């Protein structure tokens, strides 16, 4: 089957949405969790929070726009998350959408390598967890007063190809 891109000029408002939030670092950012990574609105971090890479987030999943929430529930959606520091250090995480995602949590944003879903899950089947993030990014986020932008983009890939993708494409 040959796939071709949809023509330029298509209305992409039903195919793509974005969210931007700010997070702060903390001296206890360890980023050693092997299956998840998390951003939280909470303003503290204990040493047990090994998946948390940013605190004092300006948004949680419940705060995301309706378009974003609708798009992530499509099995053909991809969620791309970039963590970007003021000095240009960045990392990119790519996860998948799932019809079970609710985006109801008012504190957390969790990206998972697994298919597990709870009210705080933002993406499943991601290519990275906290332990996989660039160590220079994590070292920066351990510094007092460090800040980062988290840019999240959701795309329904079926909008960009002339033939539908299978529901569980890799």
DSSP state of 160: G
- Taking only the tens place, the pLDDT of each residue in 100-112 is 999 999 999 999 9
Structure tokens given for 39: 């951003």
Q: In the predicted model, what is the mean pLDDT of residues 101-124?
A: 98
- Token output for 137: 């990014």
Please give the pLDDT value at position 144.
87
What is the number of structural domains in the chain? 1
Does 145 reside within a domain? yes
* Averaged pLDDT score across all residues of the chain: 91
Mean pLDDT of 129-158: 96
Residue 10 inside a domain? The answer is no
Share of the chain above pLDDT 90, in %: 82
Q: Is residue 115 part of a domain?
A: yes
Q: What is the pLDDT of residue 65?
A: 97
Q: Which domain holds residue 64?
A: 17-158
Residue 165 lies in a domain: no
For residue 90, pLDDT over 60 is answered with yes
| Distance, CA of 155 to chain centre | 12
Predicted confidence (pLDDT) at residue 68 exceeds the cutoff of 60 = yes
1 in any annotated domain: no
Question: Which CATH number do you get for residue 134?
Answer: 2.60.120.630
């Amino acid at each position: 089957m040959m796939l071709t891109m949809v023509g330029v000029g298509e209305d992409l408002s039903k195919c793509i949405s974005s969210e931007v939030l700010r997070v702060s670092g903390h001296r206890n950012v360890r980023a050693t969790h092997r299956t998840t990574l998390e951003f939280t609105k909470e303003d503290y971090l204990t040493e047990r929070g090994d998946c948390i890479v940013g605190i004092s987030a300006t948004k949680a999943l419940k705060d995301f726009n309706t378009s974003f929430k609708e798009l992530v529930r499509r099995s053909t959606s991809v969620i791309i998350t970039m963590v970007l520091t003021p000095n240009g250090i960045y990392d990119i995480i790519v996860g998948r959408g799932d019809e079970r995602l609710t985006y109801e949590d008012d504190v957390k944003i969790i990206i998972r390598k697994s298919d597990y879903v709870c009210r705080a899950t933002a993406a499943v089947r991601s290519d990275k967890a906290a332990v996989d993030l660039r160590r220079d990014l994590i070292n920066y986020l351990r510094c007092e007063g460090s800040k980062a932008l988290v840019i999240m983009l959701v795309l329904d890939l079926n909008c960009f190809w002339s033939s539908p993708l299978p529901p569980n494409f890799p």
